[in-house]
C-alpha cells in the first residue's frame, strides 16, 4: 500500500536520513515497516525568523494497509491512465506558437496518436540564444527573435519558474515532463519548482526532438499573418512569406506579445475582447537584504536558498480599491529587456538555476482595467494593447533610446522627487537612465503603486531603502486581449479554431499555459472521437 504523509519537518542541519523515522512516527509503526520512501514536496517554512525548517510531503510504500486513520496521512493517488488514441484526421492540426501552450498541445495530441504541424515566427532555441544575448547586452532587437518570440516562448529565457496558482491534475504532469527533458529531477520535490533560464532551453529542445521523432513537424521563421475561414470553419493559415497551409483544426498559442494577431482578429471582427492586466516597474534589491528580512539571524546559512517574497496590497485610490502586488519574483536574478517592437521599452526578470546573482528583482505592478483604458481614450477590443503601447513608448523615450531603462531610487519615487541617479549595482545590462518615473502611467495607477510600495516597506522594513531601484517598465504581465472561446475551447462561429495559453488570455505563466495546451489537445481529441 502507498500513502502520502504531510507536515513532516526537518531542521536545516538535519539530513534526509532522518525522514524514515519521522514518517514512521506519523504512521504509528516501526521504521522496518517502510519498504520505500520518496519526497514528493519540499517547502521552506521561514515563518519563525531565525529558525527556518523544511516541511515535507512524503510518499511511502508499506507491506500492508494501515489500521484506522492517522493525521496528515492519506492514500497516495493512483497514476493517471495513458490517454486513449483517437481517429486520425485527414489534415494534421496546425499549432501556431512553440511556447508552453503550443508544445504541450502538440504533446497531448501525439499521446493520442495525432501528429501536428507547429509554426513559430522565431527561431529554435540555439540560434535564438544569440539574438537574446544581443538584446540583453547591447539593446539590439530582432523583432522576430527575442525574449518573447521563438522556441519555448517568453518563458524559455525568463526564469523558468514552474509554480502556479491553478489546481489541475495536469500540473504534476507538466512538471514531470520538464524534469525529464531538462534532466532536473530536483524540481519534482521543490515546493516552488524552478528550472532556470540556463536549463529550460535544453528541456524545450529535448521535448521538441521527441515530438519530431513521433511525427510532428516544426517550421521556424513561419509567422502566421492570416487565417482561411469559410463555411463557419477554419480552413488553413496564411504565412508571411505568402504560403498557404491547409488545416481544418488550428490552435492559436501565440504568446502575449503577438500583437499582429490581435489586430487581425479586430480587423476581421472575429471573437476578441479587451482584458484587464497589470503594469508597473521592476524593483531591484541586494539579495543579501532580502535574505536578512526573510530569514532573520539564519541568513547566510549554507542550507538556505536565496530568499524570495510575495507581497500584495489593496489601496483605495480615488474612491476605488486597486490591487498592487509583486509579480515574477526572481531571487538571485537579473532584469532583462523584453520588447518586441522598436521604440517600445518593457522589462521582465529571470534567474539561472543556481540563482547566483547578488541582486534580486520582482515586478511591482498595479491592476489596470477597461475603465483605465477608456479614461485615456482607448476603447474597443484593442484598448489594452493601445494603452500598453502608449506607456512602453513613454518608457523608451524616458530611457533615451537603445532600450536603456528609465530608473529611479525607490525612496525618491515615494517622495515624489526626481532625486539623484541610482548609485548601486544593477543587473540590467543595456544600461539605466536616471529618470522621474512619475512621468509613467496615469495618476490613479501611480498613486496605487506608491501606496502599495509604502505598505510593502511596512511589512519588509527597508524595502524602500536607498539601495532599492525601480526600473521601467513592467507592462506585459499578461495578455491585453482575450481571443474568445466557448465551452468546447473553440472560437464562437469558427469551428476548428482553438485559442490557447497566455497569448489567448487563458493562462498566466509557463505551467498554466502548458496545462491549457493539454486541455485544448483533449478538446480536439474529443472532437475527433475514437478510431
3-state secondary structure of 317: strand
- Separation of alpha carbons 281 and 121, rounded Å: 28
Asked if the structure places residue 420 within a domain, the reply is: yes
Residues 210 and 321 in one domain: no
CB atoms within 10 A of CB 58: 27
Read off the pLDDT of residues 297-331 as tens digits, 9 standing for 90 and up: 999 999 999 999 999 999 999 999 999 999 999 99
Residues 105 and 217 in one domain: yes
**pLDDT reported for residue 80:** 87
Task: Using a pLDDT cut of 90, give the percent of the chain over it.
Answer: 94
Read off the pLDDT of residues 403-413 as tens digits, 9 standing for 90 and up: 999 999 999 99
**pLDDT tier for residue 50 given thresholds of 50, 70 and 90:** confident
**pLDDT reported for residue 503:** 96
In this model, does residue 167 exceed pLDDT 90?
no
Read off the pLDDT of residues 4-19 as tens digits, 9 standing for 90 and up: 999 999 999 999 999 9
What does R_g of the chain's alpha carbons equal in angstroms?
Answer: 24
Find the helix or strand (DSSP H, E) in which 244 lies. strand 244-246
- Separation of alpha carbons 56 and 61, rounded Å: 16
Q: Phi and psi at residue 392, in whole multiples of 5°?
A: -70, -35
Sheet architecture: strand order including 53-62: 34-45, 53-62, 2-11, 73-75
* Chain centre to alpha carbon of residue 465: 28
Question: 294: closest CA among 314, 310, 283, 313?
Answer: 310
Considering the entire predicted model, what is its pTM?
A: 0.96
Residues 321 and 450 in one domain: yes
Residues 304 and 420 in one domain: yes
Locus of grid cell 512621468: 439
Read off the pLDDT of residues 471-492 as tens digits, 9 standing for 90 and up: 999 999 999 999 999 999 999 9
Residues 284 and 269 in one domain: no
Residues 236 and 378 in one domain: no
Are the C-beta atoms of residues 489 and 228 closer than 8 Å to each other?
A: no
Going by their DSSP bridges, the two strands 217-220 and 277-286 should be labelled as unpaired
Are the C-beta atoms of residues 427 and 284 closer than 8 Å to each other?
A: yes
Task: Residue 201: give its domain's CATH number.
Answer: 3.50.50.60
- Cβ contacts of residue 24 below 8 Å, gap of 6+? 30, 31, 33, 34
Read off the pLDDT of residues 353-378 as tens digits, 9 standing for 90 and up: 999 999 999 999 999 999 999 999 99
Going by their DSSP bridges, the two strands 2-11 and 53-62 should be labelled as antiparallel
Residues 71 and 142 in one domain: no
**pLDDT tier for residue 157 given thresholds of 50, 70 and 90:** confident
**pLDDT reported for residue 48:** 87
Which residues constitute the domain of residue 166?
94-273+481-528
The CA-CA-CA angle for residues 518, 523, 526, to 5°, reads 125
Residues 325 and 209 in one domain: no
In this model, does residue 148 exceed pLDDT 90?
yes
**Domain end among 75, 103, 122:** 75
Overall domain count for the chain: 3
- Tell me what the mean pLDDT of segment 109-128 comes to: 97
Residues 297 and 176 in one domain: no
In this model, does residue 158 exceed pLDDT 80?
no
Asked if the structure places residue 80 within a domain, the reply is: no
Amino acid at each position: 500500500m502507498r500513502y502520502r504523509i504531510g507536515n513532516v519537518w526537518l531542521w536545516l542541519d538535519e539530513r534526509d536520513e532522518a525522514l524514515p523515522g519521522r514518517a514512521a512516527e506519523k504512521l504509528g509503526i516501526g521504521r522496518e515497516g517502510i519498504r520505500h520512501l520518496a519526497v514528493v514536496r519540499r517547502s521552506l517554512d521561514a515563518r519563525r525568523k531565525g529558525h527556518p525548517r523544511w516541511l515535507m510531503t512524503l510518499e511511502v510504500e508499506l507491506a500492508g494497509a494501515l489500521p484506522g486513520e492517522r493525521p496528515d496521512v492519506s492514500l497516495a493517488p493512483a497514476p493517471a491512465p495513458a490517454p486513449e488514441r483517437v481517429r486520425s484526421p485527414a489534415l494534421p492540426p496546425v499549432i501556431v506558437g512553440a511556447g508552453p501552450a503550443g508544445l504541450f498541445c502538440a504533446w497531448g495530441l501525439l499521446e493520442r496518436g495525432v501528429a501536428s504541424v507547429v509554426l513559430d515566427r522565431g527561431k529554435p532555441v540555439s540560434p535564438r540564444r544569440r539574438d537574446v544575448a544581443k538584446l540583453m547586452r547591447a539593446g539590439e532587437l530582432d523583432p522576430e527573435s527575442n525574449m518573447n518570440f521563438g522556441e519555448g516562448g517568453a518563458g524559455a529565457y525568463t526564469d523558468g519558474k514552474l509554480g502556479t496558482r491553478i489546481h489541475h491534475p495536469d500540473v504534476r504532469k507538466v512538471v514531470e515532463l520538464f524534469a525529464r527533458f531538462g534532466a532536473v529531477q530536483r524540481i519534482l520535490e521543490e515546493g516552488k519548482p524552478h528550472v532556470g533560464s540556463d536549463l529550460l532551453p535544453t528541456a524545450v529542445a529535448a521535448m521538441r526532438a521527441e515530438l519530431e521523432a513521433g511525427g510532428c513537424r516544426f517550421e521556424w521563421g513561419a509567422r502566421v499573418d492570416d487565417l482561411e475561414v469559410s463555411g463557419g470553419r477554419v480552413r488553413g493559415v496564411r504565412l508571411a512569406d505568402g504560403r498557404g497551409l491547409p488545416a481544418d483544426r488550428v490552435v492559436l498559442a501565440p504568446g502575449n506579445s503577438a500583437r499582429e494577431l490581435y489586430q487581425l482578429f479586430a480587423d476581421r471582427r472575429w471573437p476578441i475582447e479587451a482584458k484587464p492586466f497589470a503594469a508597473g516597474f521592476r524593483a531591484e534589491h541586494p539579495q543579501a537584504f532580502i535574505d536578512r528580512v526573510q530569514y532573520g539571524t539564519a541568513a547566510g546559512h549554507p542550507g538556505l536558498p536565496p530568499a524570495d517574497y510575495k507581497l500584495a496590497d489593496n489601496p483605495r485610490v480615488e474612491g476605488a480599491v486597486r490591487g498592487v502586488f509583486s509579480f515574477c519574483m526572481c531571487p538571485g536574478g537579473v532584469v532583462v529587456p523584453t520588447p518586441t517592437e522598436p521604440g517600445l521599452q518593457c522589462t521582465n526578470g529571470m534567474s539561472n538555476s543556481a540563482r547566483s546573482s547578488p541582486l534580486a528583482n520582482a515586478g511591482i505592478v498595479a491592476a489596470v482595467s477597461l475603465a483605465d483604458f477608456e479614461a485615456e481614450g482607448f476603447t474597443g477590443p484593442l484598448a489594452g494593447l493601445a494603452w500598453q503601447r502608449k506607456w512602453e513608448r513613454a518608457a523608451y523615450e524616458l530611457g533615451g533610446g537603445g532600450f536603456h531603462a528609465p530608473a529611479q531610487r525607490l525612496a525618491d519615487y515615494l517622495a515624489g522627487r526626481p532625486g539623484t541617479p541610482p548609485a548601486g549595482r544593477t543587473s540590467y545590462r543595456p544600461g539605466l537612465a536616471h529618470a522621474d518615473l512619475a512621468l509613467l502611467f496615469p495618476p490613479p495607477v501611480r498613486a496605487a503603486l506608491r501606496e502599495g510600495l509604502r505598505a510593502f516597506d511596512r511589512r519588509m522594513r527597508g524595502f524602500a531603502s536607498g539601495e532599492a531601484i525601480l526600473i521601467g517598465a513592467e507592462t506585459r504581465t499578461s495578455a491585453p486581449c482575450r481571443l474568445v472561446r466557448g465551452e468546447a475551447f473553440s472560437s464562437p462561429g469558427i469551428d476548428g479554431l482553438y485559442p490557447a495559453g497566455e497569448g489567448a488570455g487563458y493562462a498566466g505563466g509557463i505551467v498554466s499555459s502548458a496545462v491549457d495546451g493539454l486541455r485544448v489537445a483533449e478538446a480536439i481529441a474529443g472532437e475527433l472521437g475514437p478510431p
